[in-house]
Amino acid sequence: MESVNGLTIVDADEVDHNAWSDFVWQHTDGNIFQTPLMYKVYSHTPGYKPVFFALQKGKKIKGVLLGVIISPVVKLGWITSYSMVTGGPLVEDADLEFAEILLDVYSRAIRGKVLFSQFRNLSDMGWLHKSFSVRKYEGEPHLNYLVNLKQELSDIWGGFSPTCKNKINKATKSGLEIRSFSSEEEIESAYYILSEVYGRIKYPLAHKSLFLEAMTQLNGSENVQFMGAYLEGKMIAMRMLLVYKDIWYDWYAGSFRKYTSYAPNEMLTWHIMKRAKECGAEVFDFGGAGNPNIPYGVRDYKRKFGGEKVDFGRYERVYHPKLFGVLKKVMQRF
């Protein structure tokens, strides 16, 4: 525990987790990636090490920042490790001093442990642009698509491209079945699909414990949804979604390439949107669509569902430029 200008900095062992949870829930930009729930998920996942700090005045929380150090190849240490903060920091009244204190304490905590650090924004963080800049973070554009689920279903459908509608109609006639799943066996099947996808694009996939822990830690609070597309009883496409407040976040998705002609992804996405709307969600967050200056097929897929295109950008600091250059081409698509 340390103090700065009358404020106390505490870590996850020192903070009241209920107060932390309440702070995130009540914050305008509060999101699941800054909650104690995600801290627990990260804590139990091999290759993931959560880094958390809260800023307090007395007993009242004034700001929080949850990040995670990810080590795709644990034996190589920092050479392949990077830190990621999604949707943070969150501070009271967009107070610049509070945010900068959290940025500084976080930077000290990850120093010497990562190849690079990245902040993935879920809202407009322009008010912190200068603060990131002086701390040697570079901003870059990063798109996303948000589908408004407050519309009538007919209006949501009407926003889809003609090609997208045709694929969904075709999938409906092909005998595909869409259903939720929650068993460890089905999560294993979903992970197998992801393994094929990530192997194809040559990108390291998180340990399967990440998804098993998500089910364990988040399912009771209904903050996670697992849905699959099945053909003759076999899962051929899957999606893992995080749920918080009135937003469903598209977290992980994949399908077997050989079943592309059945359009399982399009049908699955449409069913998820309908399910989310039934559950009272107001936004379906596609979870990122890449840098607009770099070709990205996934962006083309997401665009055809008619969501609002937003660019909240990202901030990134590279600690070892030469090594980072080797990984950049792979990392830039995510």
- Looking at residue 72, its pLDDT comes to 75
CA–CA separation, 58 vs 254, rounded Å?
A: 46
The pLDDT score that the predictor gives to residue 334 is 44
At 262, is the secondary structure helix, strand, or coil? Answer: helix
Asked whether the predicted pLDDT for residue 44 surpasses 50, the reply is: yes
- Give the rounded percent of residues in the chain with a pLDDT score beyond 90: 79
Residue 211: pLDDT band (50, 70, 90) is very high
Q: Model confidence at 61, in pLDDT bands (50, 70, 90)?
A: very high
pLDDT, greater one: 75 or 80: 80
The residues that bridge with 143 in the sheet, in sequence order, are 311
State the pTM of this model: 0.93
Q: Are strands 314-318 and 177-180 parallel, antiparallel or unpaired?
A: unpaired
Tell whether the model's pLDDT for residue 119 goes beyond 60.
yes
Residue 202: per-residue pLDDT: 79
pLDDT at residue number 5: 75
Q: Is residue 137 within 8 Å of residue 130, measured between CB atoms?
A: no
The mean pLDDT value for 58-72 works out to 94
State the pLDDT confidence band at 77, using cuts at 50, 70 and 90. low
Does position 80 have pLDDT exceeding 80, yes or no?
no
Q: Which long-range contacts (CB under 8 A, 24 or more apart) does 103-108 make?
A: 103/65, 103/131, 103/132, 103/135, 104/135, 105/2, 105/9, 105/53, 106/51, 106/53, 106/65, 106/67, 107/135
- Is the predicted pLDDT of residue 57 greater than 90, yes or no? yes
Region 106-122 average pLDDT: 95
Confidence of residue 333 (pLDDT cuts 50, 70, 90): very low
pLDDT at 287: 93
Q: Which helix (H) or strand (E) holds 283?
A: strand 283-285
pLDDT at 204 over 90: no
Omega before residue 36 within 30° of 0, cis: no
Q: Which residue has the higher pLDDT, 262 or 296?
A: 262
Mean pLDDT of 84-90: 98
Give the mean pLDDT of 213-231: 89
What's the mean pLDDT in 297-319? 94
pLDDT band, very low/low/confident/very high, at 327 (cuts 50, 70, 90)? low
Read off the tokens for 219.
């399912």
**Mean pLDDT value of segment 200-212:** 87
Task: Classify domain 2-142+312-331 at the CATH topology level.
Answer: Aminopeptidase (3.40.630)
Range 67-96 average pLDDT: 86
pLDDT at 305 over 80: yes
Average pLDDT for residues 200-225, to the nearest whole number? 86
Yes or no: say if 68 and 43 are a contact pair by the CB < 8 Å rule. Answer: no
* Domain boundaries for CATH 3.40.630.30 within the chain: 2-142+312-331, 144-309
**For range 243-268, the mean pLDDT:** 95
Bigger pLDDT: 327 vs 221: 221
Return d(Cα 262, Cα 317) in angstroms, integer. 42
Whether 332 shows a pLDDT value over 50: the answer reads no
Contacts of 105 (CB under 8 A, 6+ apart): 2, 9, 53
Tokens, residue 290: 């890449």
- Confidence tier at 23 by pLDDT (50, 70, 90): very high
**Are 236 and 246 contacting, i.e. CB atoms less than 8 angstroms apart?**
no
Give me the CATH code for the 144-309 domain, please. Answer: 3.40.630.30
Per residue in 314-326, pLDDT tens? 999 999 887 777 6
- What's the pLDDT at 321? 83
Q: What is the mean pLDDT of the chain?
A: 92
